[in-house]
Amino acid sequence: MSQLESKPMDVRERVLLRRQQLKDGTRQRVLPTDPPPSPPTIYDTADIPEGAINLAPERLSSQIFYVPSSGLILKVGSRVRVVEADAMRFVAGNTSIPVPVVHESYEKNGIGHIYMSKAEGVALRSVWDAFSDEKRNVVVSQLTAYVCELRTLSEQFYGKLGRLESEDIFFHHLCVAHKTEHDYHSYGPFSSRDEYNEGLVQAMWNARPPGQFSAQDEVLIARVRAMAGEEKLFSHGDLHLGNIYVDHDGNVTGLLDWGCAGFSIPQRDYFEARLRSSNPTWDDALEKLFPPDAKKDFDLFKEFNTALTTYSGF
């Protein structure tokens, strides 16, 4: 049992609690024939156009709809934010990287809506293994150029556009030191590398229920605090095979899902792409996509990221 879980009640305790709730009026009596209440769905809380087709009903935090009447894609959900649309506009206006064209974006009742053009082609995930070496080389060559373009965009802070919080993976783990509404905690923006490093330290502190660092933690923290370099480069944050679209010849037709994009350390995109990859040949491709400075301190970041999940498992 984790330190976050309370001891489950046994049957007798549950019966006694229910009796007391019925007596106090804090729980309504439900007849066996009463149907259980249905939780609200995305259709109840968001503006879904009539006839829209849900392309990803299994997704939890956001869902993707195709709207036949307009030919557009609608990304909608509680974790969808207008800043994602801002990121696509920013990249489209400053690079040659193919990104969906944003037609409209807004937030309503805590639900984000982004209408965008539909990417041509298919997800690289569905064809990578079947591609010949020649086609893979086409993909790698084009992605290498796009990564270089992305890394020319810089700012004076670490975080999302508009000086918002950082979406780096280190700041996405469960906060177990103290409870928040969603068991998560936001970090940033950061103005300097020292501030960013201290954000990493705070993330580890929040990942420790006792509120104390072990001797092993202290050694790892010292190594993190020693990292230097003030470059703040724009990064996609989720470059996996499912977010890259290609045609049948291997030409890249779109980079999708910019929800985690923002300015970060030079190693971010390489580290997160490698961390999420489970395909050895894609790992080899990533080695070609990124310059040497993007691969620096990979083992340290991996050790640190693993340490953040020691207690939570996530």
pLDDT in tens, the chain (314 residues): 434 334 444 444 554 555 555 555 555 544 445 555 655 666 677 899 999 999 988 877 789 999 999 999 999 999 999 999 999 999 999 999 999 999 999 999 899 999 999 999 999 999 999 999 999 999 999 999 999 999 999 999 999 999 999 999 999 988 876 655 445 689 999 999 999 999 999 999 998 877 678 999 999 999 999 999 999 999 999 999 999 999 999 999 999 999 999 999 999 999 999 999 999 999 999 999 999 999 999 999 999 999 999 877 76
Same domain (yes/no): 61, 188? no
Same domain (yes/no): 175, 306? yes
Same domain (yes/no): 203, 186? yes
d(CA 202, CA 264): 17
Beta-carbon contacts of 168 under 8 Å, excluding residues fewer than 6 positions away, are 158, 237, 262, 264, 265, 268, 272
Question: 79: domain range?
Answer: 47-117
Same domain (yes/no): 82, 156? no
d(CA 94, CA 202): 34
Q: What is the pLDDT of residue 104?
A: 98
Q: Contact at 8 Å (CB) between 262 and 237?
A: yes
Q: What is the pLDDT of residue 59?
A: 79
Predicted TM-score of the model (pTM):
0.84
Residue 18 lies in a domain: no
d(CA 189, CA 157): 7
Same domain (yes/no): 156, 273? yes
Beta-carbon contacts of 54 under 8 Å, excluding residues fewer than 6 positions away, are 63, 64, 65
Q: Contact at 8 Å (CB) between 235 and 153?
A: no
- Domain termination site, one of 117, 147, 162: 117
Same domain (yes/no): 68, 217? no
Q: State the first-to-last Cα distance of the chain, in angstroms, to the nearest integer.
A: 15
The count of domains in the chain is 2
Q: Domain with 313 in it: what CATH number?
A: 3.90.1200.10
